[in-house]
Amino acid sequence: MPEQQAVTRLLHDLSHGQKDAFDKLMPLVYDQLRRLAARCMLSENSGHTLPATALVHEAYLRLVQADVAFEDRVHFYAVAARVMRRILVDHAKSNNRQKRGGGADQVPLDEALIVGPEAPPGIVELDEALERLFAHDERKAQVIELLFFGGMTYEETAAALNMSPATVHRELRMAKAWLHRELSQSGS
């Protein structure tokens, strides 16, 4: 608990213009950011060219430069999760542009048409579906983002979104069903 209070205090200091607070903050949040990055990397393929450590460092640089008044540590980790997701999507889009045509594996047409559990959606498709969910129902999208990309617990997600853990569970079930339908439709 003292560490959580220290993080919240440093975030408060940072929001009040004390730029050196970020330097003090990093050692306190690094392990959690590393776990968050590792969780984000779980959805990536094994040959991903961006290591989790690089993801943490890039996210840290973007967080330092962000003009965000962090409310508390839960808000900080939620923003960090969104930043990491954005980095992974940008990285995937960049790689797709570089690979288009040159160096990409040739896949026979009938193999490319396989849809189902053996052909999971990529991070770009998931990001696009999440963006559609944000437009359709922002609260459900926030639940997905905080739980899966933010690595938060039901209780932390409930606190961040000012709802009960039971509501988080209900919103999660509906959001997962919505995303499954969206991703199934986009794959067909």
| Concatenated DSSP letters of 139-173 | HHHHHHIIIIIS---HHHHHHHHTS-HHHHHHHHH
Q: What is the CATH number of the domain that holds 142?
A: 1.10.10.10
Provide, rounded to the nearest whole percent, the portion of the chain with pLDDT above 70: 78
Any idea which residue has 């797709």 for tokens?
Answer: 96
- Kindly state whether residues 157 and 80 are assigned to the same domain: no
Query: Residue 28 has what pLDDT?
Result: 87
- Kindly state whether residues 84 and 7 are assigned to the same domain: yes
pLDDT tens readout for residues 46-93: 555 677 788 888 888 888 777 788 878 878 888 888 888 888 888 777
> Tell me, what amino acid is at 68?
V
The residue out of 104, 133, 158 marking a domain boundary is 104
Give the count of domains, the chain.
Answer: 2
Q: What is the CATH number of the domain that holds 97?
A: 1.10.1740
- Kindly state whether residues 94 and 14 are assigned to the same domain: yes
Phi and psi at residue 142, to the nearest 5°:
-65, -40
- Kindly state whether residues 121 and 183 are assigned to the same domain: yes
Comparing 122 with 6, the larger pLDDT belongs to 6
The residue out of 78, 104, 130 marking a domain boundary is 104
- Kindly state whether residues 77 and 1 are assigned to the same domain: yes
pLDDT tens readout for residues 136-152: 999 998 888 888 777 77
- Kindly state whether residues 124 and 35 are assigned to the same domain: no
- What is the total residue count of the chain? 188
Query: Is it the case that residue 105 has pLDDT exceeding 50?
Result: no
Dmax over CA atoms of the chain, in Å, equals: 58
DSSP label of 48: -
- Kindly state whether residues 39 and 56 are assigned to the same domain: yes
Query: Residue 187 has what pLDDT?
Result: 59
How much is the average pLDDT of 104-124?
42
Query: Is it the case that residue 161 has pLDDT exceeding 80?
Result: yes
Provide, rounded to the nearest whole percent, the portion of the chain with pLDDT above 90: 8
- Kindly state whether residues 83 and 146 are assigned to the same domain: no
pLDDT tens readout for residues 74-85: 788 888 888 888
- Kindly state whether residues 35 and 84 are assigned to the same domain: yes
- Kindly state whether residues 14 and 86 are assigned to the same domain: yes
- Kindly state whether residues 9 and 100 are assigned to the same domain: yes
- Kindly state whether residues 1 and 87 are assigned to the same domain: yes
- Cα-based torsion angle of the residue sequence 150, 151, 155, 161 in order, rounded to the nearest 10 degrees: 10
The residue out of 104, 125, 146 marking a domain boundary is 104
Query: Is it the case that residue 171 has pLDDT exceeding 90?
Result: yes
The alpha carbon dihedral of 15, 130, 158, 52 has a sign of: negative
Domain containing residue 68: 1-104
